[in-house]
A = this chain, B = another copy of it.
Amino acid sequence: MNQIKVFAPATVANVSCGYDAMGFALSELGDNMVFKKTETKVVRITEIHGADLPFEADKNVAGVVAKLMLQHSEADFGLDIKIQKNFKPGSGLGSSAASAAGTAFAVNELLGSKYDHLQLTKFAMQGEVAACGSAIADNVAACIYGGFILVRSYEPLDIVPIPTPSELVATIIHPQIEIKTEDARKVVPETIPVKTAIAQWANVGGLISGLYAGDFDLIGNSLIDYVAEPQRKLLIPHFDEVKEAAIKSGALGVGISGSGPSMFALSKGMFMAKQIAEAMHAIYEKSGIDYAIYVSNISKTGARPI
């Protein structure tokens, strides 16, 4: 194989109660990337569309991950990489993770599937270091494994894939305002009452049970975040209105995607998901804020060849 074209999905990290520990991948929103083997052992970013990102390989998430993997595998080839971003960096939908994980997946295919999902996640996490300074796993793991994932532990890294009921659909609204990850982090308290923590982990248990059992009511009842959302939502215009309208339109639950500003709703079936999208439109079209709305199934496979 000399060339591969891949789809690298957008991802929703945190998933309400699963703050800093859970994520899921979308199947209909993500980046396209093309990787072509070259004879020189050099990694080049040759095209970038849809976002203003660095072409220099050492500063580009895809470049960093590709170089790392070629070096680690002692590959005898280089790569030319074309990147088509289909959703914006800073959306809270794992833009850098899609680049990192898409690259990890693609390079692994060109290497003859040398690495497993866990190792690919580790490579992609180095792309997150390049993008945001820390080796966070939730978005990249979701992007590589597909479906819902749990980051059970960082030391050692342990990623648990969670089964996803096939009828579960996500509706996403991305208000195109900027929230710096750093600011979003700052508003989360450093300590919390144990009682709050217990309520949160009871819901994590409920969400994971609901996903295994295909119990949509349980999924919905568990989608509560006592820790980050109460403060972070203040950074997102019309959060409460969007949440209320989405729930009224049938959403099982609504939360902040990653550190925002995107919000996600989960619902049972595509019809409901589209109703929720309309309810979100109705609120944001009056707001004067640019926004994008996406409706998507949950990706079963994560990054994939196209």
Contacts and interface: CB of A to CB of B under 8 A. Distances in A.
A190 B17 CA distance: 20
A283 interface: no
A57 interface: no
Contact of A221 (B158, B162, B189): B158
A14 to B, nearest CB: 10
A282 interface: no
A192 B190 contact: no
Interface residues of A, number: 39
A75 interface: no
A208 interface: yes
B191 A152 contact: no
Nearest to A228: B194
Contacts of A227: 194, 197
A19 interface: yes
A139 B110 CA distance: 54
Interface of A: 17-22, 150-153, 158, 160, 162, 188-194, 197-209, 212-213, 218, 221-222, 227
8 contacts: A17-B201, A21-B201, A152-B206, A191-B193, A197-B197, A197-B200, A208-B208, A208-B212
